[in-house]
Structure 1
Amino acid sequence: MRLALALLFAWLALPAAAVTCENVTYQGKSYSTCTVDPATEQLRLFLKDGDSILGSFSAIEGLPGVTALPFAMNAGMYHADRAPVGHYVENGVEVMRVIPNAGPGNFGLLPNGVFCITDDSARVIETLRYVEEAPVCRDATQSGPMLVIDGELHPRFLPDGTSRFLRNGVGTTEAGDRAVFVISNDAVSFHEFGSFFRDYLQLSNALYFDGKVSRLHAPALGRSDFGVQMGPIVGVVE
């Protein structure tokens, strides 16, 4: 009996697994999701190692001090030289300023937003609100368009939209205590993708990362996508 109680207390003392990845189907489309608790996991952004852009999940796994990479995903649009298109902060250092105005492509389809990470929270914030609030983010990446804004889909998303790609993005709770990263395994429209965050995951704010370049590293799912070199990457390291 004493041994059983000791084993039970030891099990309860173990930290809860805060990265949970799974495959789900919603309205006939397949999605892979990874849920992160930013208060207990080392959720970070990655761009360079010294002067060299990392560009791949394997490069992050090779960084000094990294013993495991339980989750990673491309995290925002980038130029041909893989420099971030919009605002980018890593470990408190601003690499690229905020771009508040409309522009070409999905990034400039306002409203867009910023994914802001602190030591114990992660929030998706619409860009103009981000500029007004000026939160102190340890890491931040700007992308667009917003998928869900305060519980509403982006106003430009049409239920009968015909543009379909494999897409990825992130949604967060209002409190910032949970971030859910999603990649579609089927080609989906913006309306379908945004609806997954709002209606299935019931998240109040969500941000699009990319469509033509969507990659996921999730060992729990037996998956580590490869292909073209990436710009900003978000991941959980051990």
Structure 2
Amino acid sequence: MKKIFCCLILSSLLLSTVAQAGIRAWTVKDAHIDVDVVEISHLQHLRLYLNELNAKPFKQISQLQQALAFCEKLQFAMNAGMFHHNYHPVGLYIEQGRQIQKLNRQQQGWGNFLIQPNGVLAWNRQQIFLGTTQQYADQNFAASYATQSGPMLVINNQLNSRFLADSQSYKIRNGVGMKNQRLYFVISNTPVTFYQFARFFKDQLKTPNALYLDGSISTAYIPQLQRQVAIHRDLGPIFAYIDSTTCGA
């Protein structure tokens, strides 16, 4: 009976995992946290979007979805970092190999972006970089896509020392971690503190490095988990995982 009871508890903590080519999604819900997780391994399908062809920002995931080719299928989308009132990225932004915004080296000021250290997520078809802004600046990474945000949640398997265990700042938050050249995108379903959110990446996902993306405006489209978004607060940069395998077939 005890063994059966333990199994029932486990099934309530880790809900069913839904997998498609290069992407898996699942929910973790326990006494400490309630989050949706998306794991991505096929980097060639992961992109960043900011503006439409007319140079106006997409703002809405649905607007981006409508702009895709008929053969392209959106399988995941999420807000991809902080932005100004004109929706322009606060920090580094690279899309399809073209740098639209340079690396932001500012270290003092107001806002989550400037809680140190902040960091960069960058990738190409072969590999991923996820680390601090300084680490990115010290490398010559050939990024096809990149976004800068902050603060770092986990740095080299350690929680960001600026987070307080007794913090009372609870918000819906989203972030991304990396492990073994796979990306783990996470969005909370209930308000959490920085400390709680970072602990999830470190202790449960065991990602050596993780980067905060935003709070309050956090939005994700995860159809595998029936997580749909009709209308949400306007966004700047947007992550999009797109299956285009039928294009040109």
Tell me if both proteins adopt one fold, taking TM over 0.5 as the criterion.
yes
Structure 1 runs of 4+ off > 2 angstroms? 63-67, 120-123
Matched pairs, number: 221
For 1:165, the equivalent position in structure 2 comes to 171
Q: How does 1:55-134 map to 2 (within 5 A)?
A: 55-65=59-69, 67-102=72-107, 103-134=109-140
Aligned with residue 21 of structure 2, among 17, 20, 27: 17
For 2:184, the equivalent position in structure 1 comes to 180
Unmatched 5+ stretches in structure 2: 1-18, 244-249
**TM-score, L = length of structure 2:** 0.85
**TM-score, L = length of structure 1:** 0.89
Q: CA deviation at 1:26?
A: 4.2
For 2:220, the equivalent position in structure 1 comes to 216
Q: CA deviation at 1:224?
A: 2.1
Identity of aligned residues (%): 36
Q: CA deviation at 1:86?
A: 0.7
CA distance in 2, matches of 1:91, 1:77: 19
Query: Is the CA contact (8 Å cut-off) linking 2:78 and 2:238 kept in structure 1?
Result: yes
CA distance in 1, matches of 2:30, 2:152: 20
Q: CA deviation at 1:27?
A: 4.0
For 1:47, the equivalent position in structure 2 comes to 50
Q: CA deviation at 1:64?
A: 4.0
SS at match of 1:133: coil
Query: Is the CA contact (8 Å cut-off) linking 1:38 and 1:120 kept in structure 2?
Result: no
Q: CA deviation at 1:62?
A: 1.7
Q: CA deviation at 1:17?
A: 2.1
- Classify 1:137/1:107 alpha carbon distance in 2 versus 1 (closer, same or farther; 3 Å): same
Query: Is the CA contact (8 Å cut-off) linking 1:26 and 1:196 kept in structure 2?
Result: no
Q: Which amino acid aligns with 1:43?
A: L
Unmatched 5+ stretches in structure 1: 1-14
